[in-house]
C-alpha cells in the first residue's frame, strides 16, 4: 500500500519578527511534511512558534524565507487576493474562542463562509444543514450562541469550518475553553471528520490528553521541530 501524498510541505522556513529593531527568530530552518488525511497535534511551550507555524500552513502569514506548499499551491507565490480565495476554498478554521457572532443564529454563523461563494440561497441552506447534521446540532439551527453550551458553540464553529468542504482543518487550542467532557466530545468529532470524511487536521494544543487523540504528535521548541 503506497504512502499518502503530502498535503503540506514546508522547507527551509524562517520567520523573524522585530521588537523595535531587535529581531526575534521564531522559526529557524524548519521543515515539515504532513501526509494527506493525517490528524496531527503540535505541542510546545508558550512562545515556541506553534501558532506562527499554524498561520503559515493556513496562509494567514508568510515566512521570512523558505517554501510553503499546501494542497498543491505554493503559498509564497500567491498575491494577497489569490491567498484569500485559496484559504476560502481549502482551509477550515477552528479557534479556542469559537468566534461566533452573538446576534446570528447557529445556522447564520455557519453560513458566513458561503456568502463569499457563488452558491444560491437554497444551496447555501443545504450546505449549512449538512454541516450542522455532521456535528449533531441540526436541532439547534435557530439557537443563538448565548442559548448554547460551550461545547455546542465549538461544534457550531466546527460546522462553520467544514461547510465549504475544506481539504485541511487547522485548529488552534480547540478545547482550551471547554470542560473535559465537552473537550472529549469535540475531539471525538474531529476524529470522525478525519476518519470518515478524510479531512487532514493540524491541531495546536497544550493539553497532553488532547494530543493523545491525534495519530501524529509533534513538538516545537525554540523554533525547531523535535
Please state, in angstroms and rounded to a whole number, the distance separating the CA atoms of residues 154 and 185. Answer: 10
Q: Is residue 111 pLDDT above 60, yes or no?
A: yes
Residue-level pLDDT at 143: 97
Closest CA to 6 of 30, 38, 34: 34
Please state, in angstroms and rounded to a whole number, the distance separating the CA atoms of residues 107 and 119. Answer: 16
Mean pLDDT value across residues 131-156: 95
Please state, in angstroms and rounded to a whole number, the distance separating the CA atoms of residues 85 and 118. Answer: 13
- Strands 168-172 and 200-204 come out as parallel
Q: pLDDT averaged over the chain? A: 92
Mean pLDDT value across residues 82-111: 93
In this structure, what C-alpha cell is assigned to residue 177? 475553553
Q: What is the pLDDT of residues 9-55, one digit of tens each?
A: 999 999 999 888 899 889 999 999 999 999 999 999 888 899 999 99
Confidence of residue 2 (pLDDT cuts 50, 70, 90): low
Residue-level pLDDT at 3: 57
Closest CA to 200 of 95, 91, 97: 91
Please state, in angstroms and rounded to a whole number, the distance separating the CA atoms of residues 168 and 69. Answer: 13
Domains of the chain: 39-60+79-225 (3.40.50.300)
CB contact set of 70 (below 8 Å; sequence gap of 6+): 7, 8, 9, 57, 59, 90, 168
Mean pLDDT value across residues 94-121: 92
- Strands 168-172 and 73-74 come out as unpaired
Residues above pLDDT 70, as percent of the chain: 99
Q: What is the pLDDT of residues 180-213, one digit of tens each?
A: 999 999 999 999 999 999 999 999 999 999 999 9
Phi, psi dihedral angles at 126 (to 5 degrees): -65, -45
Residue-level pLDDT at 5: 87
Residue-level pLDDT at 43: 95
C-alpha 91: how far from chain center:
7
Q: Is residue 109 pLDDT above 90, yes or no?
A: yes
Closest CA to 175 of 158, 149, 154: 154
Amino acid at each position: 500500500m503506497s504512502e499518502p501524498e503530502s498535503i503540506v510541505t514546508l522547507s527551509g522556513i524562517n520567520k523573524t519578527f522585530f521588537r523595535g529593531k531587535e529581531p526575534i527568530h521564531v522559526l529557524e530552518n524548519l521543515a515539515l511534511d504532513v501526509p494527506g488525511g493525517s490528524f496531527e497535534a503540535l505541542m510546545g511551550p508558550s512562545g515556541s512558534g506553534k501558532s506562527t507555524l499554524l498561520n503559515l500552513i493556513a496562509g494567514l502569514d508568510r515566512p521570512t524565507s523558505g517554501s510553503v506548499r499546501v494542497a498543491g499551491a505554493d503559498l509564497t507565490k500567491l498575491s494577497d487576493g489569490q491567498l484569500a480565495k485559496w484559504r476560502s476554498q481549502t482551509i477550515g478554521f477552528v479557534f479556542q474562542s469559537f468566534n461566533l457572532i452573538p446576534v446570528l443564529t447557529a445556522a447564520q454563523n455557519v453560513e458566513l463562509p458561503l456568502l463569499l461563494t457563488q452558491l444560491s440561497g437554497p444551496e447555501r441552506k443545504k450546505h449549512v444543514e449538512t454541516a450542522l447534521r455532521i456535528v449533531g446540532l441540526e436541532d439547534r439551527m435557530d439557537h443563538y450562541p448565548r442559548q448554547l453550551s460551550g461545547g455546542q458553540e465549538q461544534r457550531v464553529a466546527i460546522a462553520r469550518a467544514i461547510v465549504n468542504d475544506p481539504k485541511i482543518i487547522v485548529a488552534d487550542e480547540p478545547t482550551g475553553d471547554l470542560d473535559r467532557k465537552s473537550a472529549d466530545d469535540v475531539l471525538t468529532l474531529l476524529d470522525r471528520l478525519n476518519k470518515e470524511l478524510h479531512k487532514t487536521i493540524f491541531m495546536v494544543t497544550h493539553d497532553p490528553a488532547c494530543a493523545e487523540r491525534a495519530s501524529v504528535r509533534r513538538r516545537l521548541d525554540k523554533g525547531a521541530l523535535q
